[in-house]
Amino acid sequence: MNVFFVETPLQLMNAIEAKHARALVGNHLVVLLSDIYPRGFFEPLLEDDSWDSIRYVESRVPARGALRRRLQSHASTRVRSYYETVELRGLRKRLDALAGPFGRAERLFIGNYYLEHMRHVANVLPHDRLVLLDDGTTTLDIAEQRRRHAEGKPAQPGKSWRARLVDRAIGWKLGHPAHATFFSMYDLNLSPADSLERHDYSFLRARAMRVERGSEVLFLGQTIYYEGIAEEEYLARLRCVATHYGVDRFVYVPHKGEHRDRVRHIREELGLAVRTFDVPIEYQLAMRGPLPGVLASFYSSALENCRLIFGADLTIEAVYLDPQLLTRGVEFVRRVYEYYGSKSTPQFRVLNLDCND
């Protein structure tokens, strides 16, 4: 029996790839639902794929009763934090209850390893082998952090005593499994205890139909505000990029986690076309089309995914965004651009624009 635990459509796409690449049987899927990714975002990817069982778990249970609703939206940060802890404790209990009926899995596949709830699953669901699915370019960081942990070095910034108390109150089990296999398309610098099973989206490529080709430039948005870039700076850089490609053929594809106000500003204040899809862009282009004239972004992991899927059939450009414009994740973003630069071809490149005027 194999258990797959995912919480984003990209993780699900990689789970499907892993299942078919290994010709696995006895496959059980668990999908963690959220406000950003409700059930409707996963179902299109499951229409033509079979699983022995599919279970959906809510990451948050709607607040019942006036008191809980008041706590959820309370003006005090401390009160809201308390309620968040209560919600996470409820999630932990749901995950524990879910793990029991599975018994022992031959392989356990999980998404983002460094999220507490994902690593908790790896600790409470017995398994013979742990497999880490790609979660975009975050995979580069996860591999580095596991290597540092194996070397006895700090893997992540240390948590405050308050955060450690919260983890304890929630009941997370956050031990680091000694061995893990990365099912990944990336070149990774791994701990000696970890292993790599490389993939190149062969299953998706084999299913991809011949799609029409257009002349548009699809530019993929990101939840880049997590790295601390100023909103005005982001919009200014985006305006520069759109001017470079030509506003008339430029189409912005928002990330599912982008704030609505930003998307509204892009559409109304920058005057750019905005388009959304109900599946990951990789699946959209391969299975539905049309292929754009250019696929671009700042440093979205979808660029590397599409490089492997489409090869020379699609022009892909990572527009350079100076990491010094960010207040967080500077080294991570620098490593992503270095990685993209190492894969440069006539159809895949890092594009450095002069956007300082």
What is the band of 60 on the pLDDT scale with cuts at 50, 70, 90? confident
Residue 78 pLDDT: 64
Rounded mean pLDDT, 185-207: 90
Give the total residue count for the chain: 357
The b-or-e profile of 59-84 (16+ CB within 10 A means b, else e) is beeeeeeeeeeebbeeeeeeeeeebe
Average pLDDT over residues 188-201: 92
Residue 181 and residue 348: Cα distance in Å, rounded? 28
CA 187 to chain centre: 18
Section 209-227 average pLDDT: 81
Question: What does the CA dihedral 154, 142, 353, 217 come to, rounded to 10 degrees?
Answer: -160
Per the listing, tokens 């009763």 go with: 65
Q: What is the mean pLDDT of the chain?
A: 88
Domain residue spans of the chain? 2-199, 207-351
Question: For 92-129, how does the pLDDT look when each residue is reduced to its tens digit (9 = 90+)?
Answer: 999 999 988 898 999 999 999 989 999 999 999 999 99
Who wins on pLDDT, 332 or 83? 332
Q: What is the pLDDT of residue 87?
A: 86
Is-contact 221 259, C-beta < 8 A?
no
Within 8 A by CB and 6+ apart from 151, the residues are: 191
Instruction: Give the integer Cα–Cα distance in Å for 331 and 148.
Output: 15
At 284 the pLDDT is 92
The pLDDT-based confidence of 256 (bands split at 50, 70, 90) is confident
Residue 169: the pLDDT is 86
Equal CATH topology for 2-199 and 207-351: yes
> What is the per-residue pLDDT across 127-152, written as a single tens digit (0 to 9) for each?
999 999 999 888 998 998 898 888 87
The label of the residue with tokens 């406000």 reads: 35
Of 127 and 330, the one with more pLDDT:
127
CA distance 341 to 313: 19
What pLDDT band is residue 66 in, cutting at 50, 70 and 90? Answer: low
Segment 294-329, tens digit of pLDDT:
999 999 999 999 999 998 889 999 999 998 888 888
Cross-sheet strand order for the sheet of 315-319: 273-274, 250-253, 217-220, 294-297, 315-319, 348-351
Quote the percentage of the chain above a pLDDT of 90. 57
> Is residue 36 very low, low, confident or very high in pLDDT (cuts 50, 70, 90)?
confident
Indicate the fold that domain 2-199 takes in CATH. Answer: Rossmann fold (3.40.50)
Residue 302 has a pLDDT of 94
Domain 207-351 listed as CATH 1.10.3470: no
* pLDDT grade for 217, boundaries at 50, 70 and 90: very high
Q: Specify the pLDDT at position 213.
A: 84
Place of tokens 């899995």: 105
Average pLDDT over residues 320-348: 91
Dist. CA 170–CA 85, nearest whole Å:
6
